[in-house]
Amino acid sequence: MPFDQADTVAQAGGGHFAGKRADRVVSPLAARRRSAITLYSPLMSPSASGFGAHFFLQLLISGFFGILFLQSGIDKVIDRRGNLDWLTGHFAKSPLGGMVPLLLGIITLLELAAGVLSAVGCVLVAVRHDPAIGFYGVVVSGFAVLALFFGQRMAKDYPGAGTLVPYFLVVIAGLIWLGQS
């Protein structure tokens, strides 16, 4: 029998109080059940406290993109020469071959913007339960992943392009969960 019906007189035989809560008539068993329930209050549940699955999805997705794109963008700034050399060879036979320095600058800015917005969004979700900045971080992350995907396809690096699909799926999930407050 569910706990909320344990002290209902209807369970004890009906009569005038059938189906009504008995505020004054409580069996010893119901009293013990009620005292055990006080250890767990519905007010302490994850959804009532604001720390449910939705909160953690928002936190984890914005944190994921914050780490991913801050690391990648900072690496492109610190090791610009190494990245430029590798990308020049990677795109040598593609239509984008002559534009590698410009495209490296664009993808670096996109990644840094996505990383900063996502990291700040992660902090705001944690502290203020506000997913707005994290949402915009995921939007910019989506454009960064799309730009990387385009580059891999243009370089005819199809396996490399395929490795970006899971990131794009996380972008879609992020748009869904961070788009809801």
Quick one: pLDDT at residue 23? 55
Q: What are the residue ranges spanned by the domains of the chain?
A: 3-40, 47-178
Give the model's pLDDT for residue 44. Answer: 43
- Model pTM score: 0.72
Secondary structure letter of residue 26 according to DSSP: -
For residue 164, pLDDT over 50 is answered with yes
Greater confidence (97 vs 32) lies with: 97
- Compute the distance between CA of residue 164 and CA of residue 24 in angstroms, rounded to an integer: 64
Q: How far is CA 5 from the centre of its chain?
A: 38
Tens-digit pLDDT profile for residues 49-89: 567 889 999 999 999 999 999 999 999 999 999 999 999 99
Q: Please list, in sequence order, all residues whose beta carbon lies within 8 angstroms of the beta carbon of residue 40, skipping any fewer than 6 positions away.
A: none
Specify whether the CB–CB gap between 137 and 28 falls below 8 A: no
* 21 or 141, which is more confident: 141
